[in-house]
Homo-oligomer: A and B are copies of this chain.
Amino acid sequence: MNRHRYRKKNGDNFRWTNPRRDLVNIFTKEEHLSADEAYMKVKQKNPEIGVATVYRNLDFLTERGILNRFRFGDVKARYELRDLEKENHHHHLICESCGKIINYSEFVQREKKLINAMEKELSEKHGFQINSHQLHFYGICKDCRDK
């Protein structure tokens, strides 16, 4: 009886551990952290934690659809909480000078129409099943321009 409950609750027997909870908490406060940045943050709460655990759990959370993983111009991967509500759907402006990342959610409505049409045509034409899309703008942010 409990067994079924448990199984039901978390699909394939994973455990909701402290490192996982901590990571998610951190990403509710700050976005676009890389693995090492996230590692620093968790360490403040739990100094015992190892890097490997952070990497493993960033993978874990990404696979489970809790985090999004991005690779902007940088070598290192960056993460953010997945936006479950459509209202939060957004894309990114990336500053090529300082690396700053800005979210924007303007145009989501207009974009959605186009994206839907594209997904339809592309899947028909290329037999490609589209799961997600990323629209990135690269350029120079205000601060860097002012300098």
Q: Which residues on A are within 8 Å of B, measured CB to CB?
A: 69, 71-75, 93, 95-96, 102, 104, 106-107, 110-111, 114, 117-119, 121-123, 125-142, 145
Contacts and interface: CB of A to CB of B under 8 A. Distances in A.
Contacts of A114: 107, 110-111, 114
Contacts of A95: 128
9 contacts: A93-B130, A102-B126, A102-B128, A104-B125, A127-B142, A127-B145, A128-B137, A134-B138, A136-B136
Given A93-B128, A130-B137, 16 more contacts: A71-B75, A93-B126, A95-B128, A96-B131, A102-B126, A107-B114, A111-B114, A111-B118, A119-B137, A127-B141, A131-B138, A132-B139, A133-B135, A133-B138, A134-B138, A135-B135
A106 to B, nearest CB: 6
Given A71-B73, A73-B71, A111-B114, A104 B126 contact: yes
